[in-house]
Homo-oligomer: A and B are copies of this chain.
Amino acid sequence: MDRLNEMDRLMGTLTVEEIHQAAERIRPFAHRTPVFTCKSLNERTQADIYLKAENLQKVGAFKFRGACNAVLSLLPEEAECGVATHSSGNHAQALALAARLRGIPAYIVMPRTAPQVKVAGVAGYGGQITFCEPTLEARETTLEDVVQRTGATIVHPYNDLRVIAGQGTAALELMEQVPDLDVVMTPVGGGGLLSGTAIAVSALSPRTRIIAAEPEGADDAYRSLLAGRILPSVYPQTIADGLLTSLGTLTFPIIQELVEQIVTVSEDAILSAMRFTWERTKLIIEPSAAVPLAVFWEAKVDLIGLRIGVILSGGNVSLDQLPWQIDRPTLS
């Protein structure tokens, strides 16, 4: 089987039916998050914006949906040995909590340079942490060691069909909560949220356009779509720290097939959109969640007058120093 057929097979493997099944599976554990509207946001964007508040999801991010679906999808004999990942972000906390809810161990490999607050978060959800050197190679070999020792199942943060199906459940809910959307927007990092969203939306509302947003300083997904192949993220620089990763072999073909376009946005636009959202909606969103809203601050796409669902990916941000208080390097 050549590579393209393999992709087709994998894409064919994930249908909206499996997203429905994921929704059933995670229902007892995940929040059905509310959708908010905000008059001044609508005035500012000249559109009807529906904010799907995944910042109010468990662990403060949509990541809990995918991790939870992956953990609950394991066969009992697999589950027994636990799950493992390397991550210092929201996925690590999400996987730790999902594993605890099923009563199985979660082995999390973290760089020893990970912020104390993230380490405490994972530990607080009962994750068993193994520290390693802060390189990708060290993370991967350490994870291999952990898996060898424990027999745990690796749950990748986005390049995993169970994870993608779980992330797609946010869009399922959004479409139930707000019918007849013209557009659904998400940020794109590794593409788990975007590909799950794209499958759900295109299946249930074919006329709805799917538009993703990405920081200019981490525009690998934008460039990958142009090139027709996965280009890695090289030295990404953005305050949207959830979007530093590259697309995966599972997420790329889905995005290529179903997403209308990826719009890149500047750091200034991300900051402005984030601050406006904090001030006007009183919702704490992380920089990555502001990335789709930043599209409206730059007007690169004409979305005037449309009904637009925006998935606010998360709300985990350090409150010691806010992003607009930090001196940023200028992107060249």
Could you tell me which A residues sit within 8 Å of B by CB distance? 34, 36, 53, 55-56, 60, 275, 278-279, 281-285, 315, 319, 321-322, 324-325
Contacts and interface: CB of A to CB of B under 8 A. Distances in A.
Contacts of A278: 284, 319
Contacts of A324: 319
B279 A282 contact: no
A261 to B, nearest CB: 29
Contacts of A325: 321
Contact of A282 (B315, B321, B322): B315
A279 B56 contact: no
A6 to B, nearest CB: 40
B319 A282 contact: no
19 contacts: A34-B34, A36-B56, A53-B282, A55-B282, A56-B282, A60-B282, A275-B319, A278-B284, A278-B319, A279-B319, A282-B284, A282-B285, A282-B315, A283-B284, A284-B284, A319-B322, A319-B324, A321-B325, A322-B322
Contacts of A56: 36, 281-282
A56 B279 CA distance: 11
Nearest to A279: B319
Contacts of A281: 56
A28 B279 CA distance: 24
Nearest 8 A-B pairs (CB), nearest first?
A: A282-B315, A282-B284, A55-B282, A56-B282, A278-B319, A284-B284, A278-B284, A275-B319
A127 to B, nearest CB: 16
Contacts of A283: 282-284
Given A56-B282, A321-B325, 8 more contacts: A36-B56, A55-B282, A56-B281, A275-B319, A278-B284, A282-B284, A283-B284, A319-B324
Contacts of A275: 319
Nearest to A318: B279
Nearest to A281: B56
Nearest to A124: B40
A285 B315 CA distance: 15
Contacts of A279: 319
Nearest to A314: B282
Contacts of A315: 282
A123 to B, nearest CB: 14
A195 B319 CA distance: 34
Contacts of A282: 53, 55-56, 60, 283-285, 315
Nearest to A60: B282
A322 to B, nearest CB: 7
Contacts of A53: 282
A322 B285 CA distance: 16
Contacts of A34: 34
Nearest to A277: B284
Among A53, A279, A282, chain B packs the most CB atoms within 10 A around the CB of: A282
